[in-house]
Amino acid sequence: MTEMVPTNYYVFLAAALFGIGTAGVLTRRNVIVIFMSIELMLNAVNLVFVAFARHFQSAEGQAIVFLVMIVAAAEAAVGLAIFISIFRNRETLNADEINLLKG
């Protein structure tokens, strides 16, 4: 560890990752790929937490990353269960076609 990278480079990387995730949510129609883009955004947030935890030498930042991972796991479990139910009922996973509640 001779020279460290300045912290704002990590923030830039996380911002770019977040932007890619947002573009995925906006453009793709397959709900599983939309969900994966949401996971990308969550990971970008995790990266910012870890980078600043290193910057301020705080262990709470890393503990919060642990909690974010748990929340992501819970969300993935429930979300995928919802997708399975949708697939059983509508035979499709295209977000444009799941529009029964549309006005």
Partner 1 sequence: MSLGVFVVLALFILGSALGVILARNPVRSAMCLVMTLFFLAVLYLFLDAHMVGTLQVIVYTGAIMVLFLFVIMLLNLQTDPEESSATTTLSAAGGLCALFVGLLMYLVGNVENVPEPARDGFGSIQSVAEALFLRLMLPFEITSVLMLVAIIGAVVLAKRKIQ
Q: Binders of partner 1 among 14-53, rule CB under 8 A?
A: 15-24, 26-30, 32-33, 35-37, 39-40, 43, 46-47, 50-53
Q: DSSP character for 3?
A: S
Cβ proximity of 38 and 61 under 8 Å: no
As a whole number of angstroms, the distance between CA 94 and CA 61 comes to 37
Tokens of 51: 């980078």
Nearer to partner 1, 57 or 100 (CB): 57
Q: How far is the CB of 74 from partner 1 (least distance, A)?
A: 4
Q: Which of residues 82-101 bind partner 1 (CB under 8 A)?
A: 82-85, 87-88, 93-94
